[in-house]
């Protein structure tokens, strides 16, 4: 497994009653990114947090806040999340009619741009915005809930995107999210991923276990 793999613990699996200290704990445990899942109960069947929570927790870590917007019509919220302290703003290709316009909107905030695709979406949808992206997020589960099983059907998609990134000559993170544990992490990395989002695999046990959990993924 690559030593250059970045680990992005998803705070969706953290103790929400103790969220600030949980973020500090994964920071100290070696997290590279702090992955923040924003769900609207519309694009996905769950509701999580908004920009105020991002703003309130920003002081607990200097690590990259990797904000994943699983929401419809993301354009209207991009500036709010940028102002709240996001470093990367990732939107779904399926959630916006004009993907190129949405990508440009994020770029105008000065933040890094990510685009995510769900398991049923072809990676071809990214061909005409690839030159503007800093991160691509492949969902290896159907988004909306934590604790789901990894969909092995997505490995070919990861491989395809890694090839496209290499051909582009651009430094684009290839991130995977869903069902990541020490076993599936190996598969994702072998397919070409360099950023792993993990929730329950990182936050299992207590704060003293987080470094061990992160090391097991890396």
Where in the sequence numbering do the catalytic residues fall? Answer: 37, 177
Could you tell me the two tokens for 12? 């969706």
Q: What does the CA dihedral 69, 142, 133, 58 come to, rounded to 10 degrees?
A: 40
Integer Cα distance of 187 and 33 in angstroms: 20
Measured between its terminal Cα atoms, the distance across the chain in Å is 7
How many other CB atoms sit within 10 Å of the CB of residue 182?
Answer: 14
User: What is the DSSP secondary structure assignment for residue 218, as one 8-state letter?
Assistant: -
**Among candidates 90, 44, 43, which has minimal Cα distance to 67?**
90
Q: Dump strand ranges (E) for the chain.
A: 6-9, 33-39, 64-70, 88-92, 112-117, 135-139, 173-177, 195-198
């Amino acid at each position: 497994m690559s030593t250059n793999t970045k680990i992005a613990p998803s705070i969706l699996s953290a103790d929400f009653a103790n969220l600030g200290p949980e973020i500090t704990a994964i920071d100290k445990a070696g997290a590279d990114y702090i992955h923040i899942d924003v769900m609207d109960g519309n694009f996905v069947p769950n509701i999580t947090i908004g920009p105020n929570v991002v703003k309130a927790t920003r002081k607990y870590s200097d690590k990259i806040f990797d904000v994943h917007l699983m929401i419809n019509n993301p354009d209207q919220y991009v500036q709010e999340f940028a102002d709240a302290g996001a470093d990367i703003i990732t939107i779904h290709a399926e959630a916006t009619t004009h993907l190129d316009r949405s990508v440009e909107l994020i770029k105008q905030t000065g933040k890094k741009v990510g685009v995510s695709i769900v398991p049923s979406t072809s990676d071809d949808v990214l061909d005409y915005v690839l030159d503007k992206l800093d991160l691509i997020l492949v969902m290896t589960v159907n988004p909306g809930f934590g604790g789901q099983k990894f969909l092995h059907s997505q490995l070919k998609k990861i491989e395809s995107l890694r090839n496209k990134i290499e051909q582009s000559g651009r430094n684009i993170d290839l991130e995977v999210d869903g069902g990541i544990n020490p076993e599936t992490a190996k598969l994702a990395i072998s397919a070409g991923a360099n950023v792993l989002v993990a929730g329950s695999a990182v936050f299992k046990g207590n704060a003293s276990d987080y470094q061990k959990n992160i090391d097991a993924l890396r």
